[in-house]
């Protein structure tokens, strides 16, 4: 009788513990959804009303055939641009593509044209449904997929490289130009994400300056092969500041 009561008490305690744990997990998931809808949306696109257009690409429901074709074309062009620069793609990030502002706000987007989420997925707004913007964001994901062992690069290099990969005419001269720079990086370039957001918010030319620095570094060090060497060296524990030399007047802080 005593043993029976003991087992019954144990079952009640275990049941309450499981119920408490489930409640915490549900509350935690709800907190993520409320605080980070973009993370939740990229984890479960269908939960936000998106439908799979093709493997890894999600869009709003009810698109016309023309709209679906345009999304597919943008994605394919952007993927080819990234693959061509990096010599292939090591990552297969999800792409969440919105053709209305309501959709983009619903999945956690803001005023940006597009954004890489946790360096594993990409969200594109109606204003970012363009091969340049799409390949820019995909470049961020590809770079971080290739970096290993906790290796990282300064934000100016990450953003400048994305401009080069996307071949963005707003911030770079054509590839045929002797020097692609539109704006010389005559001062410190932002190293951390916080510094980048502040600097780019104050001066849109920050993108052009960073792209200029990266394009010149690539040209002076063997082009795309230099990037592969850099990624490998960083993965082996090399220090970015020792591997990437910039002119003294252009030396980033941090």
- Rounded to 5 degrees, φ, ψ at 19 are -65, -40
Q: Range(s) for CATH 3.30.2010.30 in the chain?
A: 36-145
- How confident is the model at residue 188, as a pLDDT? 87
Please state the rounded mean pLDDT for residues 174-192.
92
Question: What's the whole-number average pLDDT of the chain?
Answer: 85
- How confident is the model at residue 249, as a pLDDT? 44
- How confident is the model at residue 219, as a pLDDT? 93
- How confident is the model at residue 148, as a pLDDT? 79
pLDDT band at 38 (very low <50, low <70, confident <90, very high): confident
Which of 75, 66, 57, 63 lies closest to 99 in space, CA to CA? 63
- How confident is the model at residue 36, as a pLDDT? 62
pLDDT band at 247 (very low <50, low <70, confident <90, very high): low
More confident residue, 64 or 28: 64
- How confident is the model at residue 245, as a pLDDT? 83
pLDDT higher than 70, residue 4: no
pLDDT in tens, 87-139: 999 888 999 999 999 999 999 999 999 999 988 899 999 999 999 999 999 99
pLDDT band at 169 (very low <50, low <70, confident <90, very high): very high
More confident residue, 83 or 24: 83
- Which CATH fold topology does 36-145 show? Zincin-like (3.30.2010)
- How confident is the model at residue 150, as a pLDDT? 81
pLDDT in tens, 5-34: 444 443 444 444 434 433 333 333 333 343
């Amino acid at each position: 009788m005593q043993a029976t009561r003991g087992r019954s008490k144990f079952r009640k305690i275990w049941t309450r513990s499981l119920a408490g744990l489930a409640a915490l997990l549900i509350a935690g998931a709800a907190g993520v959804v409320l605080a980070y809808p973009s993370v939740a949306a990229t984890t479960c696109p269908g939960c936000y009303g998106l439908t799979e257009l093709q493997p890894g690409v999600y869009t709003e429901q009810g698109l016309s055939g023309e709209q679906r074709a345009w999304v597919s074309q943008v994605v394919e062009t952007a993927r080819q641009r990234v693959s061509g620069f990096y010599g292939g793609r090591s990552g297969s990030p999800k792409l969440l593509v919105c053709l209305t502002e309501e959709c983009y706000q619903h999945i956690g987007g803001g005023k940006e044209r597009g954004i890489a989420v946790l360096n594993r997925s990409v969200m594109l707004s109606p204003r970012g449904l363009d091969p340049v913007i799409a390949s820019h964001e995909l470049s961020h994901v590809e770079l971080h997929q290739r970096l290993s062992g906790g290796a990282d690069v300064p934000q100016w290099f990450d953003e400048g490289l994305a401009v080069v990969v996307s071949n963005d005419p707003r911030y770079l001269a054509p590839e045929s130009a002797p020097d692609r720079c539109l704006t010389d990086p005559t001062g410190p370039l932002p190293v951390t994400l916080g510094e980048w957001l502040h600097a780019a918010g104050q001066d849109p030319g920050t993108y052009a300056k960073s792209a200029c620095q990266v394009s010149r570094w690539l040209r002076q060090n063997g082009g795309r092969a230099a990037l592969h060497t850099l990624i490998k060296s960083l993965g082996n524990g090399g220090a970015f500041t020792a591997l990437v030399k910039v002119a003294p007047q252009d030396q980033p802080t941090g």
